[in-house]
Amino acid sequence: MNHRAFQDQLAQFPVNTADILQQLIHQQGRLEPEQVNELKGLMALSSENLLKALLPLAASMSTCPISHFSVGAIVEGFRSEGQGPIYLGANLEMAGQPLKMAIHAEQAAISNAWHQGETRLRRLMVNEAPCGHCRQFMNELNEIDQMDILVSQLDSDQQRQYSISSLLPDAFGPGDLKQSTRLMSPSLLSLESPVPADELVNAATEAAQRSYAPYTNRIF
């Protein structure tokens, strides 16, 4: 992450929002529902318009030495009533490696939410149309048919809304493999931790319980 770019972008926001937005650094790119609602009030914005306003901040986290093209993405965790937390992500490219090795902004934001305990997403906003790889990645998500996918370029007021079926027609996914669970589904795996308990091994066991491997059924 380019901290200078992030701070420069942060300076573009109203002064009374800076303390809240600065917490993104300490909260792993996450804003709690209370913080989101406070920002909406301070900036007089709807949920979607706030995500749009925060997209440049997400994109400023990009590391793109190959393409020199910054992409930001934001997802909102699903809550049956009211505002959910939001999670920021950006594209990450590794110099000296093929571009196919990059982590895309949509993947970064979704993985950020997943690793912080989310099991379903309400919406995703990104500043460019998702590539084919990201469309397949999102097709694996729990309750993806209920998730809004919003594309809003940084230099445009226009916004487009998609469903996964419109972005990826005739898709192949977990249903074709008779899989009942999807990426971000609450884990159904049961693994016994070794005795005596070991903190590192327990952490590895917990991570393995959340593994998603429908194509191989191998847990790492």
H, E, C per residue of the chain: CCHHHHHHHHCCCCHHHHHHHHHHHHCCCEECHHHHHHHHHHHCCCHHHHHHHHHHHHHCCCECCCCCCCCEEEEEECCCCCCCCEEEEECECCCCCCHHHCECHHHHHHHHHHHCCCCCEEEEEECCCCCHHHHHHHHCECCHHHCEEEECCCCCCCCEEECHHHHCCCCCCHHHHCCCCCECCCCCCCCCCCCCCCHHHHHHHHHHHCCCCCCCCCCC
Strand partners, 30: 87
Q: Is 106 a catalytic residue?
A: yes
Among residues 76, 81, 93, 106, the one annotated as catalytic is 106
Tokens 């917490």 belong to 23
- C-alpha 15/C-alpha 10 separation (Å) is 9
Of 10, 59, 20, give the one whose Cα is nearest residue 40: 20
Catalogue the active-site residues.
Answer: 106
